[in-house]
A and B are shown apart, each in its own frame.
Chain A
């Protein structure tokens, strides 16, 4: 069964850091573009970061560039999002997504709350 499971969310103070993980099963992350997408409470979907299937390129939304880092561990089949210098506006559910032309799968999401 193909599954993505995010973890690592929680409550953090402004300026703090968190590392999100996306563990996969039945699915090889090196075969797909992997993405982080977030959704602030009551709002729509916002793309955050992506890594190409071959790992050659990483892309970031302007709102997180220089603060967030996407990475992956092929041996663990896990995707990561290191989030530094967190701000109140980063509060959201963070989803990981694996996507190709004919395949798309999302995790259940992990909540990140940035608050003092």
Chain B
């Protein structure tokens, strides 16, 4: 199974400042079809998860453009250009290239300093 490793696991940030979360996979996430099935999810406190980014860098509908995803192979990053109060929560990366199983990272908790 592909192991997804996120860092940091806790990220205190100042409002208006940028934030970055790393996600590394134990093997390349490039699929034989040429796509890379690496997605990012946000889970606000007390809420269901919500997908933010699909296939590395594509924002889902309604996701603010301060969120961006990048990376390739085994190394991926989620960036928030200017953190807002509503961005507090836990962020997960997930791979769907080598499925089953679909595997999630441990989660990164973003909180305001």
Interface residues of A (CB under 8 A from B): 35, 37, 44-47, 50, 59-62, 95, 97, 99, 101-104, 106-109
Q: How far is the CB of A20 from chain B (nearest CB, A)?
A: 15
Interface residue SS majority, chain A: strand
Looking at A99, A104, A107, A109, the one whose CB has the most chain B CB atoms below 10 A away is: A104
Does B99 interact with chain A (Cβ within 8 Å)?
A: yes
Contact A102 B58, beta carbon cutoff 8 Å: yes
**A95/B101 in contact, CB under 8 A:** no
Q: Give me the interface of B with A, judged by CB distance under 8 Å.
A: 41, 43, 48-51, 54-55, 58, 60-61, 90, 92, 94, 99-107
Which of A47, A103, A109 makes the CB contact (< 8 A) with B102?
A: A47
Question: Does A45 lie within 8 Å of B60, measured CB to CB?
Answer: no
Cβ of B46 to closest chain A Cβ, rounded Å: 10
Give bound CA distance, A104 to B105, whole Å: 18
Given A44-B107, A45-B92, check contact A102 B61 (CB 8 Å). yes
**Cβ contacts A to B, 24 pairs, < 8 Å:** A44-B104, A44-B105, A44-B106, A44-B107, A45-B41, A45-B107, A46-B104, A47-B100, A47-B102, A47-B103, A50-B102, A59-B100, A61-B100, A95-B48, A97-B49, A99-B51, A101-B55, A102-B54, A102-B61, A103-B60, A103-B61, A104-B50, A104-B51, A106-B49
